[in-house]
């Protein structure tokens, strides 16, 4: 066993408990039993705290309450899209030995730091118990597994990050073909310029994490899937000319965005397209739930196409739930993970969330036209890992990239591309 500060603290707590029991006349052997069902709830930590994301979580909770009526769901959520505020807050709770019973994490590299820190438990036993190994796509199982074959979370859904949403009326009014997909960023920029000339906000974006999201799709759209993936496995040179071109493209796109971006999270930025206050928004396909909620029809009231230059690629991320280490009642967490992974849980949740179920043994006809498109893309297209949503890099590196992006975009004007590129290249060290 690796001795960490936490282990030492756990040993100290156990010693104190034994001493207390001895003082009460109890024996150490009896200590484990009463603690097991000491509490009847499960605290579930997410950033699905408001709007359509909360509606999705609420739907999952309804299934949980049906499946496990004796356990109370405790909503432990922190506002901030993409986990922008939740992750820091979670980190301090974990360091202070105050973990939620289970927390939302992205499948992939984002899990690494939590595993290394000893903050999560191996749940591969539950995959056997619930029969999950064969019902999740092999690629997803690979993303979730460590080199020694352990799995530390259970996925609820799969999202596609490289999507662009558009208001067809705004496009038509300005002489732009509303059904057009852009096979290059240059072609896209030409239309953004037309919109700007006409006095329309061409592209809406929000606060820094949504800008990192945009950056990710621009890197993918400029470099293509292989070189994009090489940014994360070290085979693409961050100082190359191609990356310079991508960053220049990002700078150009940012110059067509709304000035109040730093005050907006994704729902407000997407809402600008819903309301016709902006033509385009590039956001993951949780955005589709906002169009659904506004009762807009795909193709007629809104357009959903791959982000410019990214057709044929599925920029992947998956939400999943852990079992925290050192929790009082793992059985309740196990019950939550059972609901998350169940057919009923995945169908009910994903219908509202806009994502596709992680399970493959589900009737696809139950889902919307957009979701069926996403399922097809996931089956047929090249899959790459999302940067902004934890699949590609650990939290620490994403934080460094986010900081560099924030410095680059700033509130007024921009830093130069060379400084930005050097800052990004430095995150590989």
Distance CA 210, CA 218 (A): 12
Among 51, 83, 108, 155, binds ligand BGC (CB under 6 A): 83
Window 213-252: residues binding ligand BGC (CB under 6 A) = none
Alpha-carbon distance values, 283 to 115, 265, 354 (Å): 29, 11, 12
Distance CA 276, CA 201 (A): 9
Among 59, 68, 76, 81, binds ligand BGC (CB under 6 A): 81
In the complex, least distance from residue 159 CB atom to ligand BGC, rounded to whole angstroms: 6
Alpha-carbon distance values, 49 to 43, 46, 130, 286 (Å): 14, 7, 28, 14
Residue window 48-67: x/- pattern of binding to ligand BGC, with contact defined by CB under 6 A: -----x--------------
Alpha-carbon distance values, 238 to 253, 379, 393, 395 (Å): 20, 30, 15, 19
Among 110, 268, 319, 381, binds ligand BGC (CB under 6 A): 319
List, in order, residues 6 or more apart from 272 with CB less than 8 Å away.
201, 204, 258, 278, 281
119 lies in the binding site for ligand BGC (CB under 6 A): no
Window 21-50: residues binding ligand BGC (CB under 6 A) = 47
| Contact present, 238 and 201 (Cβ < 8 Å) | no
Among 214, 272, 305, 317, binds ligand BGC (CB under 6 A): 317
In the complex, least distance from residue 103 CB atom to ligand BGC, rounded to whole angstroms: 13
**How many CB atoms sit inside 10 A of residue 34's CB?**
10
Nearest to 353 by CA among 345, 362, 342, 363: 345
Among 250, 286, 291, 302, binds ligand BGC (CB under 6 A): 286
Sign of the C-alpha dihedral computed for residues 394, 399, 405 and 407 taken in this order: negative
Distance CA 63, CA 40 (A): 17
DSSP string, 45-90: EES--SHHHHHHHHHHHHHHHHH-TTSEEEEEE---GGGTTHHHHH
Among 215, 389, 393, 405, binds ligand BGC (CB under 6 A): 389
In the complex, least distance from residue 355 CB atom to ligand BGC, rounded to whole angstroms: 7
In the complex, least distance from residue 81 CB atom to ligand BGC, rounded to whole angstroms: 4
In the complex, least distance from residue 15 CB atom to ligand BGC, rounded to whole angstroms: 41
Candidate segments 9-17, 81-89, 112-120, 200-208, binder of ligand BGC by CB under 6 A? 81-89
Q: Looking at beta carbons only, is 330 or 390 nearer to ligand BGC? A: 390
3-class secondary-structure state, position 281:
strand
Q: Looking at beta carbons only, is 112 or 242 nearer to ligand BGC? A: 112
What pairs with residue 120 in β-bridges? Answer: 324
Among 87, 93, 159, 359, binds ligand BGC (CB under 6 A): 159
Q: Looking at beta carbons only, is 94 or 317 nearer to ligand BGC? A: 317
3-class secondary-structure state, position 302:
strand
Q: Looking at beta carbons only, is 188 or 349 nearer to ligand BGC? A: 349
Residues binding ligand BGC (CB under 6 A): 47, 53, 81-83, 106, 159, 266, 284, 286, 317, 319, 389
């Amino acid at each position: 066993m690796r001795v960490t500060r936490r282990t030492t603290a756990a040993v100290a707590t156990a010693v104190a408990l034994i001493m207390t029991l001895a003082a009460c006349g109890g024996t150490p052997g009896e200590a484990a039993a009463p603690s097991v069902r000491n509490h009847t709830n499960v605290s579930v930590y997410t950033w699905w705290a408001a709007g359509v994301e909360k509606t999705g979580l609420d739907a999952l909770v309804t299934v949980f309450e049906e499946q496990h009526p004796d356990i109370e769901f405790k909503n432990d959520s922190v506002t901030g899209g993409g986990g922008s505020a939740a992750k820091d807050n979670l980190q301090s709770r974990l360091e202070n030995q105050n973990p939620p019973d289970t927390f939302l994490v992205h499948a992939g590299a984002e899990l690494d730091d939590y595993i290394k820190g000893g903050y999560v438990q191996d749940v591969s036993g539950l995959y056997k118990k619930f029969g999950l190994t064969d019902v999740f796509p092999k690629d997803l199982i690979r993303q979730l597994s460590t080199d020694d074959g352990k799995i530390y979370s259970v996925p609820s859904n799969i999202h596609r990050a490289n999507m662009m949403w558009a208001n067809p009326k705004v496009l038509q009014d300005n002489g732009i073909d509303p059904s057009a997909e852009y096979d290059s960023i240059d072609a896209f920029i030409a239309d953004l310029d037309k919109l700007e000339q006409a006095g329309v906000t061409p592209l809406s974006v929000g606060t820094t994490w949504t800008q990192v999201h945009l950056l990710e799709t621009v890197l993918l759209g400029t470099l293509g899937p292989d070189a994009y993936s090489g940014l994360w496995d070290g085979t693409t040179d961050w100082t190359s000319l191609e990356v310079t071109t991508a960053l220049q493209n990002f700078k150009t796109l940012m110059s067509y965005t709304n000035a109040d971006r730093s005050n907006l999270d994704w729902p407000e930025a997407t809402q600008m397209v819903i309301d016709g206050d902006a033509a385009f928004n590039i956001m993951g396909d949780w955005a589709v739930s906002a169009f659904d909620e506004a009762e807009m029809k795909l193709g007629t009231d809104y357009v959903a196409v791959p982000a410019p230059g990214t057709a044929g690629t599925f920029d992947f991320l998956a939400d999943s739930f852990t079992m925290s280490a050192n929790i009082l009642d793992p059985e309740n967490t196990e019950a939550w993970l059972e609901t998350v992974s169940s057919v009923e849980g995945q169908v009910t949740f994903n219908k509202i969330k806009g994502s596709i179920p992680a399970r493959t043994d589900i009737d696809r006809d139950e889902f919307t036209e957009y979701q069926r498109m996403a399922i097809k893309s996931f089956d047929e297209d090249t899959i790459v890992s999302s940067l902004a949503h934890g699949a590609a890099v650990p939290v620490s590196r994403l934080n460094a990239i986010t900081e560099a992006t924030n410095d680059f975009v700033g509130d007024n004007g921009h830093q130069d591309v060379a400084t930005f590129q050097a800052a990004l290249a430095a995150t590989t060290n």
